[in-house]
Chains A and B, each alone.
Chain A
Amino acid sequence: MNRRLAAFAATFAVVLGATAVMAQSDVIKQRQTLLKEFGDLTKPVGGMLRGSNAFDLAAVQAALDTYAKSAKELPALFPAGSDTGDTDALPAIWQDKAKFDGLFAKLASDATSARAAITDEASFKANFPGVIRTCGTCHDSFRKKS
């Protein structure tokens, strides 16, 4: 093989490989940002559930809107092969991707119905815990316990 062509091919391969790795770490970062946002929005709402924070309908609605929006984006951010690197995602995700995606679909639809059902503190306390139960279900099966 022509030496220059070989060098070009090698460079191309390295760049291609690096791009793939970068894209992968990108996707990990993206999903972590969305999930961290879930956590940050849920924390004060948890305080309202416990009674340590005052009830704030707007904050509850903001959390539910974010769940509904991001839960639709998240399944695509777990492509095959993105189980390595700085991630707590367990291989179980890709062994049962349908179940994993189904939990996000359930979260999105639960959040949408709760958004409509929650109008005051009483309806909040009745409806919110059911929405976030899916978070725990998913963590139990698909997230590394560090």
Chain B
Amino acid sequence: MRADTPAAASVLAWDLPTRLAKWLLAALVGLAFASKYYGDPAMVWHQWNGLAILVLVVFRLLWGVVGGSTARFAAFVRGPSALLGYVGGLLKGRPAHYLGHNPLGALVILGLLGLVAAQGLTGLFTTDDIIVYGPMTPVASDATMARASALHQQIYPFLLALIGLHVVANLAYSLFGRDNLVRAMITGRKPAAAYVDRAPATPGSVIAALTCLALAVAIVFGGIALAGGNPFP
């Protein structure tokens, strides 16, 4: 975006809490890989990392209900007919123009959130049977831990693949499509144009964002403590 772009030429697409949550989650998922392979042997860092990811995912779920208009699941998750229409347009090289997530991208967002959540949740019950014991292992049975530990490893390649798809698709849209999606997710703004969904986006309130964050922290750490686990690795 040029610095001298007049405000009227661009519209809000993503409010600040949505963007912060998105990039923080991306950074934390990256750090989770790093802390798995290069962290301390007891994976204390990796466990804190996982707890932070769970907090962000819970925040994003709450924000998907009370947050900015383009962050709300009810607004961006669309039915099969909208999806088929979009895919048809995409195959003809004329995809419908969305301010927020397009119907196909919405599925990837749900998949990413679901897989990251599953990875975080199974991680709580994961042990290497040596010295790594996740926050919920004190109250989990051997069978549960074995199952969760296996899933934690099995989900990983699917998560990597979906992240790869997500990155490639966004770069492709940004390079060959009508707008630079990556820049929009950084600046929050897109050029004013005719969009299928309502533009500009309505931002969520900062107070609501802080409340969601506090709630998310309470749900993750309080939930683990209430279930008898140890929320502080």
* Partner-B contacts on A (CB < 8 A): 39, 42-43, 45-46, 49-50, 129, 132-133, 135-136, 139, 145-146
Q: Are A50 and B130 in contact (CB under 8 A)?
A: no
The answer to whether A133 and B128 touch across the interface, beta carbons within 8 angstroms, is no
Give chain A residues whose Cβ lies under 8 Å from the Cβ of B4: none
Q: Which residues of B contact A43 (CB under 8 A)?
A: 131, 133
Contact assessment for B131 and A145 in the assembled complex, using a CB-CB cutoff below 8 Å: no
Footprint of A on B, CB under 8 Å? 41-42, 44, 128-133, 146-147, 149-150, 153-154, 233
| A50 engages B128 (CB within 8 Å) | no
Cβ–Cβ contact A50 & B149, under 8 A: no
Q: How many inter-chain residue pairs (CB < 8 Å) link A and B?
A: 38
How far is it, in angstroms, between the C-alpha of A50 and the C-alpha of B40 when the chains are bound? 9
Roughly how many angstroms separate A49 CA and B44 CA in the complex, as a whole number? 10
Residues of B within 8 A of A139 (CB): 128-130
The contact of A132 among B131, B150, B153, by CB within 8 Å, is: B131
Minimum-distance CB pairs A-B, first 4: A46-B131, A129-B41, A146-B146, A50-B42
Q: Are B131 and A45 neighbours in the complex by a CB distance under 8 Å? A: yes
> Could you tell me the distance in whole angstroms from the C-beta of B110 to the nearest C-beta in chain A?
27
Residues of A contacting B: mostly: helix
- Beyond the given A135-B130, A136-B130, could you list 9 further A-B residue pairs with CB under 8 A, ordered by the A residue number? A39-B130, A45-B131, A46-B130, A49-B131, A50-B42, A132-B130, A136-B128, A139-B129, A146-B147
Q: Are A133 and B131 in contact, CB atoms less than 8 angstroms apart?
A: no
Give the docked Cα–Cα distance between A43 and B233 (Å): 14
Chain A residue at minimum C-beta to C-beta distance from B143:
A146
* Complex contact A145–B132 (CB within 8 A): no
Chain A residues lying within 8 Å of B132, measured Cβ to Cβ, are 46
- Tell me, in angstroms, the Cα distance from A146 to B153 when the chains sit together: 11
* B153 CB contacts on chain A under 8 angstroms: 145
A46 touches B149 (CB 8 A): no
Alpha-carbon gap, A43 to B138, bound state (A): 11
Q: List 8 A-B contacts (CB under 8 A).
A: A39-B129, A39-B130, A50-B42, A50-B233, A132-B131, A136-B130, A145-B153, A145-B154
List the A side residues contacting B44 at CB < 8 Å.
Answer: 50
Which of B44, B130, B149, B153: most chain A CB closer than 10 A?
Answer: B130
CB pair B41–A132 under 8 Å, yes or no, is yes
